[in-house]
A and B are shown apart, each in its own frame.
Chain A
Amino acid sequence: MSQEKPHISSYRSHVFVLAALIVLTGISVAVTTLELGRLDTLVAMLIAGAKAGIVLVWFMHLKFDNKLYTIFTVLVIVVFLLVLYVTFFDYSYR
C-alpha cells in the first residue's frame, strides 16, 4: 500500500478549495443578518457542515487516500450524532 505513488495536489487546487471555504464563510455571516428565526441555527450548521466536508475531503485528502479513512470518519461522525440524538431523548421530553 505504501508503495503506491501518493497523489500530489496542485497549489491551484488548494487555492480553489480555500476560495470556496471563504465564500461559504461569507455566506454564513451574511445569512445571520437576515431574520430566519429558528431556521437560523439549521442554516449555520448546514454551511459549517459543508465547510467541514470540504476540509475533510480535499485538505485532509480523504478523496485520494485509502477508502478506509473515509469509512472510519463517517462511522465516527455517525456515532457522535447518535449520541447527541439519544441524549435529546432526555432533554426534549423532560
Chain B
Amino acid sequence: MSESTKSNHESFLEYKGKYRGILGWILSTDHKRIGLLYLYTMLVFFSVAAILGLLMKIQLIAPGHTIMGPATYNAMFTMHGIIMIFIIVVPGLPAVFGNFFLPLMIGAKDVAFPKLNLASWWIYVIGILIVLTSQFMGDGPPDTGWTFYAPYSFQTPANIVPALVGAFVLGFSSILTGINFVVTIHRLRAPGMKWLKMPLFPWTLYATAWIQILATPVIGITLLLTVMERTLGVGIFDPALGGDPILYQHLFWIYSHPAVYIMILPGMGVISEILPVFSRKRIYGYKAIVLSSLAIAFVGYFVWGHHMFTSGMSGRALFAFSFLTFLVAIPSAIKVFNWVATMYKGSLIFQTPFFWAVSFVFVFMIGGFSGLTLGSLATNVHLHDTHFVVAHFHFIVFGGTGFSFLAALHYWFPKMFGRMFDASWANMGWLIFFAGFLALYLPMFYLGIMGMPRRYYDYLPEFHGANILSSLGAILMIGGALIIIVNLVRSSRYGEKTNDKNPWGGKTLEWQADTPPTLENWEDIPEVTEKPYEYK
C-alpha cells in the first residue's frame, strides 16, 4: 500500500507498478496508459493502411496497368477499408482520447471497469491479428471491399472468414469500451458535476457509447451469419437457397450507418472543446450541442437505407430513407452554427489545435453537403458507386474523424506527454496535409459526376487529368502526414519539457490535473461548481 501511495506522485508515464518495462504497459489498467497503447497500435496500422491508399493512388495516376493489376487493387482497397474503418476510425477517438481524457474531464480516478478496459485493448489486438491472417492464409486476401456484400462474400474463393471473424472480435472490443464509458459517466462524475455541467467531449462520448452498445451487435450477428453461410452452408442470404442478399445490406448498414456517427460524434466533441479555448469565449449553445449529439445518435439509426438506393428496395422505402437522411442533417448543421458563433467576436489564438479545428469545420461542411447530394434520390442514382461517394466519405471519415483526431492530438499533447511539440513544424505539417487533402479528394467529386466508378484499377482516358491532380495530392498529403507524425514522435521524446498544468488556458477539468497526470489523476477529487467554458 505505502509503495503505491508513493507512486501516486509520479507521472503516469514513469511510475513503476507491479510489472516493469513493456509489461508495465500492456498489463496496465491505468486508463491513460491504455489510451496510449491504442494510440501506438493505431499509429502502426494507420501507416500501413495509408501506404495501401497511396499505392492505389499511384496506380490511378495513369490509365491501365501502372504498378498493379486488378486482383491486387481489389485486395488493396479491401484491406485499406477494413483497417481504416474497423481498426482506426471506429475505435479511434473513443479508445485513444476517450480513455485518456474522459476520467480526467469528469474528475474521476479511472474508468468504471479498469480491468475490462485493458481486456478491450487485448481483444482489439487479437481482432487485428485475426484480420491480418486473412492476408497470408488460404486462397488469397479478401477482395470483397470492407462491406463484405452477399452473395459475393460467400462465393469468392478468397480468404474471407478470418476477416469476418476479426471484424466480429473488434466489434466486441468496441462494445466493451462503450459499456465502460456509459457506466463511467453515470457513476463517476466528480461531486457537483451535474449532467449539464459536463464538458462536451464526454457528452459526445456518451452518445457514441450508446451507439456502440446498440449498433455493434448488429454487425456482429451479420458477420456471424455470413461466416455460418460460408462454412456450414446455412441458407440465410444466398439467393440460391431462398435468401435475400438485400437483407444482408440492410443488416450491414443498420450497423454501419450508425458507425459513421461513432466515428464523427467524438470528433465533434473535440472541436467543441478546442474552439472555446482558442476563442476565449464560452461555447455558443451548449445545450443545443448536447441535444443535437443525442439526436444524431438516435435519428442516425434510421437512415441506413441511403446506402442502398440502387439495390432494389421498394419505392416507398426509398422515400422514407431519403426523408430521414435529410432529417439527420439538421442536428449536424446546428453544430456548425454553434462552432462558427463561438468564434464570432472571440479573441482568436492562432495555434496548431485551432488550425486543425477550423479546417475540420471546413471539410466537415463540404462532406456534409455532398452527403445531402447523395441523400436525394435522383442525384444518387447518377452518383452511386462513383468517385463522388469516395470523395464524400473521405471528407467525412478522414476529414471529419482524421482532422479532429489530429486536432485532439495537438491540443492534448502537452498534457499527455509533459512536453511541447515543435509548433512551426506542426503548423507546416498541417498546411501541407490540408493542401494535399483538398487536392486529393476535391477532384474525386468532379470525377464522380463525370461518371468514373469506384473500385476499379483502370479508367477511361478522359479522366486522366483530374486523376493526376488527385494522385499528386495524395503524395503531398502523405508528405504532410509524415511531417506531423515525425514531429509528434520526436517531440514526445525530446520536446521541451513542461509541467504547466494549463498551457492553452482551458477551463475544463483535465487542465487542473498535473502535467503529465499522476497514476490516479488527483490528490483530491475536484469539486465542480461552474459550467465548463466559463470565459469572462
What separation, in Å, do the CA atoms of A92 and B315 have in the docked complex? Answer: 11
Is A86 a contact of B302 with CB atoms below 8 Å? yes
Knowing A76-B214, A79-B214, A79-B301 touch, does A86 contact B314 (C-beta < 8 A)? no
A48-94 residues at the B interface, CB under 8 angstroms: 68, 76, 79, 82-83, 86-87, 89-94
What residues of chain B lie closer than 8 Å to A86, measured between beta carbons?
302, 305, 317, 320-321, 324
Is B316 a contact of A93 with CB atoms below 8 Å? yes
Is A92 a contact of B314 with CB atoms below 8 Å? yes
Contact residues of B: prevailing secondary structure:
helix
Is A93 a contact of B301 with CB atoms below 8 Å? no
Is A83 a contact of B302 with CB atoms below 8 Å? yes
Contact of B314 among A68, A76, A82, A94 (CB under 8 A): A94
What residues of chain A lie closer than 8 Å to B254, measured between beta carbons?
83, 87
B16 within 8 Å of A (CB atoms): no
Is A90 a contact of B302 with CB atoms below 8 Å? no
Is A89 a contact of B316 with CB atoms below 8 Å? yes
Knowing A83-B254, A86-B320 touch, does A91 contact B314 (C-beta < 8 A)? yes
B464 within 8 Å of A (CB atoms): no
B221 within 8 Å of A (CB atoms): no
Number of B positions contacting A (CB below 8 A): 17
B455 within 8 Å of A (CB atoms): no
Is B301 a contact of A90 with CB atoms below 8 Å? no
B67 within 8 Å of A (CB atoms): no
What separation, in Å, do the CA atoms of A79 and B305 have in the docked complex? Answer: 16
What separation, in Å, do the CA atoms of A15 and B8 have in the docked complex? Answer: 52
Is B250 a contact of A87 with CB atoms below 8 Å? yes
The interface bits of chain B over 304-338 (1 if a CB of A lies within 8 angstroms of the residue's CB, else 0) are 01000000011111001100100000000000000
The interface bits of chain A over 20-45 (1 if a CB of B lies within 8 angstroms of the residue's CB, else 0) are 00000000000000000000000000
Contact of A89 among B214, B298, B301, B314 (CB under 8 A): B314
What separation, in Å, do the CA atoms of A27 and B84 have in the docked complex? Answer: 53
Knowing A79-B301, A83-B301 touch, does A89 contact B320 (C-beta < 8 A)? yes
What separation, in Å, do the CA atoms of A56 and B246 have in the docked complex? Answer: 34
What residues of chain A lie closer than 8 Å to B321, measured between beta carbons?
86, 89
The interface bits of chain B over 266-301 (1 if a CB of A lies within 8 angstroms of the residue's CB, else 0) are 000000000000000000000000000000001001
The winner among A76, A86, A94 for most chain B CB atoms within 10 A is A86
Is B214 a contact of A90 with CB atoms below 8 Å? no
Chain A: CB-nearest residue to B319: A89
Minimum C-beta distance from B196 to chain A (A): 17
What separation, in Å, do the CA atoms of A90 and B307 have in the docked complex? Answer: 14
What separation, in Å, do the CA atoms of A83 and B254 have in the docked complex? Answer: 8
Minimum C-beta distance from A63 to chain B (A): 21
What separation, in Å, do the CA atoms of A76 and B298 have in the docked complex? Answer: 11
Contact of A93 among B214, B315, B324 (CB under 8 A): B315
What residues of chain B lie closer than 8 Å to A89, measured between beta carbons?
305, 314, 316-317, 320-321
What residues of chain A lie closer than 8 Å to B305, measured between beta carbons?
86, 89-90
What residues of chain B lie closer than 8 Å to A76, measured between beta carbons?
214
What residues of chain A lie closer than 8 Å to B314, measured between beta carbons?
89-94
What residues of chain A lie closer than 8 Å to B298, measured between beta carbons?
79
The interface bits of chain B over 195-206 (1 if a CB of A lies within 8 angstroms of the residue's CB, else 0) are 000000000000
What residues of chain B lie closer than 8 Å to A91, measured between beta carbons?
314
What residues of chain B lie closer than 8 Å to A87, measured between beta carbons?
250, 254
Knowing A87-B250, A89-B320 touch, does A94 contact B313 (C-beta < 8 A)? yes
Minimum C-beta distance from B316 to chain A (A): 4
Minimum C-beta distance from B491 to chain A (A): 43
Apart from the given pairs A76-B214, A89-B314, A89-B317, 7 other A-B contacts in the complex at a CB distance below 8 Å:
A79-B298, A86-B305, A86-B321, A89-B305, A90-B317, A93-B314, A93-B316
4 A-B pairs with the lowest CB-CB distances in the bound complex, closest first: A93-B314, A90-B317, A93-B316, A89-B317
Chain A residues in the interface with B (C-beta under 8 A): 68, 76, 79, 82-83, 86-87, 89-94
| 21 A-B pairs with C-beta separation under 8 A | A68-B186, A79-B214, A79-B301, A82-B301, A82-B302, A83-B301, A83-B302, A86-B317, A87-B250, A89-B305, A89-B314, A89-B316, A89-B317, A89-B321, A90-B313, A90-B316, A91-B314, A92-B314, A92-B316, A93-B316, A94-B314
